[in-house]
């Protein structure tokens, strides 16, 4: 790949996301990915009796197909005109980023909490978290919102731009399929314990390096925002591995240290209480104002990450 391409398209894609967010009226590849998962899941379940093997072939087929289709689209556009290839890459990578839409959804929850509309806040947070929300009080909703902002900085910004820098739009879209597969079939329940195992493991592997790189980015952003860069680093390395996910804990712990809040703890998932250790246990609880600060930290981290990738591409 010509190094000038990611040098130009990554900042452009992030700027598009900051301006447009995720308008509901726009067609979105992630929705098509979700539809493809729904269509092909029963096919692979019927083709192989071994659910783990079926799930593995299912995941590899969809990830590989996504990369191939994107590569073909970018190649065709580039053969028509170089600027068309660039434009297609910018738009496709923009679709892989979700910083602005994450901020919008989180701030809607914060506004509902400020209006003391807990019922509405629960409905809104249910759209962006995987836990049960019926029993959450104001503090629980605020914490769930803050945690999803911290975790999805990696899924929605750090990782897709990392893979875009390595392999352009095809690799970024392949990552997005990995992430979508994990969100749809990577559950530890009766239906997906075996079938979704490969999708979950691939997602863990894909996010392993970006999640740890995020600590440095969040630490730098925390220093800019609140002068707590050192505490963000310290909390991430002390508590990052305590999360049930091998990756999510690092960004969450960095956010916890940056804004001095306590995350984690027990939560209900699909009606079952799951005991989780606290992250940043010595800090105070998450409040409504922390949601806005968490969004600011996420946006600053996103811009810093593009700058870091920009410099890295020039050097390497």
- Take residue 150 and report the two structure tokens written for it: 């911290």
Please give the pLDDT value at position 315: 85
Bridge partners, 214 (sequence order)? none
Please give the pLDDT value at position 241: 87
Lowest-confidence segment of 17-21, 27-31, 51-55, 76-80 by average pLDDT: 27-31
Please give the pLDDT value at position 1: 47
Percentage of the chain modeled with pLDDT above 70: 95
pLDDT in tens, 282-297: 999 999 999 999 999 9
Please give the pLDDT value at position 271: 65
115-139 average pLDDT score? 89
Q: Where are the alpha helices (DSSP H) in the chain?
A: 4-20, 29-47, 51-80, 82-96, 99-114, 118-126, 138-153, 159-185, 197-226, 229-239, 248-259, 288-315
Contact 14, 156 (CB under 8 A): no
Please give the pLDDT value at position 276: 79
pLDDT in tens, 192-240: 999 999 999 999 999 999 999 999 999 999 999 989 999 999 999 999 8
Give the dihedral of Cα atoms 293, 134, 105, 202; nearest 10 deg: 90
**Residue 24 predicted with pLDDT over 90:** no
63 pLDDT band (50/70/90 cuts)?
Answer: very high
281-287, long-range: CB < 8 A, 24+ apart = 281/239, 283/256, 283/257, 284/260, 285/139, 285/143, 285/261, 286/139, 286/142, 286/143, 286/146, 286/261, 286/262, 287/139, 287/142
**Residue 273 predicted with pLDDT over 70:** no
299-305 average pLDDT score? 97
**Residue 6 predicted with pLDDT over 60:** no
Across all residues in the chain, what is the average pLDDT? Answer: 92
119 burial (CB, 10 Å; 0-12 / 13-18 / 19+) is: exposed
């Amino acid at each position: 790949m010509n190094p000038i391409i990611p040098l130009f398209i990554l900042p452009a894609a992030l700027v598009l996301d900051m301006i447009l967010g995720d308008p509901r009226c726009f067609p979105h590849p992630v929705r098509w990915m979700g539809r493809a998962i729904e269509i092909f899941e029963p096919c692979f379940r019927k083709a192989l009796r071994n659910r783990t093997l079926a799930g593995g072939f299912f995941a590899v087929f969809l990830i590989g197909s996504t990369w191939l289709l994107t590569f073909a689209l970018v190649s065709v556009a580039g053969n028509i005109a170089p600027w068309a290839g660039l434009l297609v890459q910018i738009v496709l990578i923009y679709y892989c980023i979700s910083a602005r839409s994450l901020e919008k959804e989180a701030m809607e929850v914060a506004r509902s909490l400020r209006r003391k509309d807990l019922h509405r806040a629960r409905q809104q947070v249910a759209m962006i978290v995987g836990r049960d929300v019926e029993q959450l009080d104001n503090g629980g909703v605020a914490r769930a919102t803050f945690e999803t902002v911290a975790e999805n900085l990696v899924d929605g910004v750090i990782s897709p731009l990392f893979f875009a820098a390595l392999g352009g739009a095809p690799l970024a879209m392949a990552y997005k399929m990995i992430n979508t597969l994990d969100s749809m079939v990577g559950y530890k329940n009766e239906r997906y314990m075996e079938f979704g195992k490969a999708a979950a493991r691939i997602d863990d592997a894909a996010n392993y390096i970006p999640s740890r790189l995020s600590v440095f980015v969040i630490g730098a952003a925390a220093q800019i925002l609140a002068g707590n860069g050192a505490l963000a680093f310290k909390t991430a390395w002390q508590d990052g591995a305590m999360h049930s996910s091998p990756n999510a804990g690092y960004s969450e712990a960095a956010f916890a240290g940056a804004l001095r809040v306590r995350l984690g703890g027990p939560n209900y998932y699909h009606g079952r209480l799951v005991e989780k250790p606290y992250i940043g246990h010595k800090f105070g609880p998450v409040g409504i104002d922390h949601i806005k600060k968490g969004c600011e930290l996420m946006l600053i981290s996103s811009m810093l990450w593009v700058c870091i990738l920009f410099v890295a591409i020039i050097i390497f």
